[in-house]
Each structure stands twice: as C-alpha cells, then as structure tokens.
Amino acid sequence: MFPYIIKPSNEVLPLVHKWFTDHNNNEIRKLTALLLVEAKYTFDGAIDIIINLLKDDNDQMRYRAQRIFQHPERDVKEASKKISVIGEKTIMKILQNILTTEQTTTVRTYLGTFFFDLLWDDPKIFQNLHKKITILKDNNPNLRTISCFNRIFFINSDTWNSIMESLQHPSYESYLEELLHLMMRLKTDHQIMEEKCIEFSKLLSIRNKNQFKEKIYFKSTALDIMKFIIDEISTSSNTDDKEYIDILESKVISHNTVKIEDLLKMKYTDVRHIGTYVFNVPEEFNIRFIE
C-alpha cells in the first residue's frame, strides 16, 4: 500500500520530510521525494530521485514523476511556477543534469518542459545561475549548448532590468546573441513591450556583432513565408533539380529575411514577427492556410 499514498496534508509534510532525511531505504526515499514535490515542496535533494523515476519500471511512479515536469493540466501560456519559490539550488540541479548527464530523449524532453511555465521573477537568482552555467561551460567546453536565456519564457521587470544592466559588460562572446534571441522570443510572447525593445536595440546597435553565428532573420510571419514558397513552386515548371532548390532558397532569403545590422534599425511594429533562421510553423497555421 505504501506506493499508493498520495496528497499528505500540510500537517504531515514535516513527518514525510523526516522520512526522506532519516531513511536509507531507496523505496521510502522515492515515495517521500514524490510526495514532497507533488505538494509543491520542490528542493534540490529530491531532484535526482525524481529524474531517475522518469526511467522507473513502475508505471505509476514513473507517471507521477512525469506529471511533476509536465503536468497535463497546466497552461504554458501562463506562468504557474516561480524561481523565487523553487530556489536557485533546485533550478541549478535541473540545468546541470541537462548539461552533464546522458539521458534518453524522453527524459530530456520532460526536463526541458519544466521551464515552459516558470516565471523568472528573481534577478539575483538569475544572475547567479547564469554565472554558474557560464563557469561550468568554460571548464567543460564539450558540454551541450545551453544557457539560462533559452529557458526563459516568462519574466518580470526586475529580472529584465538586471539582464539589461549585464549588457554593459557581457561575460562571453555569444552573450549578446543569446540576449537578442531572448528579446525576440519575449517580444513575440508579449513578455516585453515596445519601450524595452527599443532600449535593448539601442544598446546592442553600438556593440560588436561580428561574432554572431546568425547573420539573417526571418521578417515575415510563418504563414506568409509558407505562402511565398507555395506560390513560387506552383508557378514554376521545373521543380525537380537541385539548381531550382538553390534558386528557391535564394528567393526565400532575399524576400523574407533581414540582416542583423538592419534588424536593429527597424521600427518595433516592423519586427513583431522577427524570428531566427530556424523556421517554426505555428500550430494555427494549418487551419488558417486551409481557410
């Protein structure tokens, strides 16, 4: 019956935590870690256990662990977790696991989706995490490409202002480019508005961008780009050879992209749909295109 214990009351949680700290029995520690994290008491000591449960042979325990990282009832359009509540050690534990531990694709997906509804509401925690991740990557150059920036989907003004201050003294070459991608994503998701985007562009425009990996960006919506490609294909009589594909690619780039130097000079209303070179089709595309 032990694995079927769920939802302990607040009065019982201290006892459950005592089980976690006082027992060496693996099964007891698995269950107590689950019970505590399910009760919103997420702490770094439980993270390794919860991650390992994502690979557990017990279907029920594995499913409960999966719900912690990707709850089926959550809405990724709204933040339901805060870094100020979860804490620096716990977030660092998850990021470090993504960076340094070989995991299956399924486990890595669950770990990544943990951040989808997380509000970065504490600038001090953000700066500490960024500093630790940078040091970890500097000491281990073969680690996977990851940063705190590509894990931010919801942000408050204090954390954004802290990031803006850090723009004055970037800590490594790719820092500026990561900030640019973060700004574009947050802008698209309406997390930052026109005033902050203009302020960011002014600061970035005077910095050296020669080391940026991405030189061009899509300036059109995904729907407009797909429509452009289909129109080009439908009016062409020869679409089979490689030369045509090269020509089509050239047309897509010339008609639908903007260079980084020009991007920073554009008006806010003209860059609302700007995206990186990775072309993602939005989920409403099929419905709108059929219409």
Closest CA to 120 of 103, 95, 97, 143: 95
Side-chain-facing half-sphere of 62: CA atoms under 13 Å: 8
CA distance 242 to 151: 38
Please say if the pLDDT value at position 267 is more than 80: no
pLDDT for res 277: 45
Please say if the pLDDT value at position 287 is more than 70: no
pLDDT in tens, 108-149: 888 888 898 899 999 999 888 888 888 887 787 776 666 677
CA distance 23 to 77: 40
Please say if the pLDDT value at position 2 is more than 60: no
Counted residue by residue, the chain has a size of 291
Per-domain residue ranges of the chain: 76-82+117-213, 216-291
pLDDT for res 228: 87
- pLDDT > 70 in the chain, percent: 85
pLDDT for res 183: 82
Identify any residues that bridge with 269 across adjacent strands, giving them in sequence order. Answer: none
Q: Which two structure tokens, joined as six digits, stand for 126?
A: 């953000």
Model pTM score: 0.73
| Burial call 56-81: b when 16+ CB within 10 Å, e when fewer | eeeeebeebbbbbbbeeeeeeeebeb
pLDDT for res 186: 83
- Residue 152, classified by CB atoms within 10 Å of its CB into exposed (0-12), middle (13-18) or buried (19+), is buried
pLDDT for res 180: 82
Q: Which two structure tokens, joined as six digits, stand for 121?
A: 């509401």
CB 281 within 8 A of CB 226: yes
Q: At what angle do helices 44-53 and 59-69 cross, to 10 degrees?
A: 130
Residue 177, H or E segment: helix 175-188
pLDDT for res 281: 44
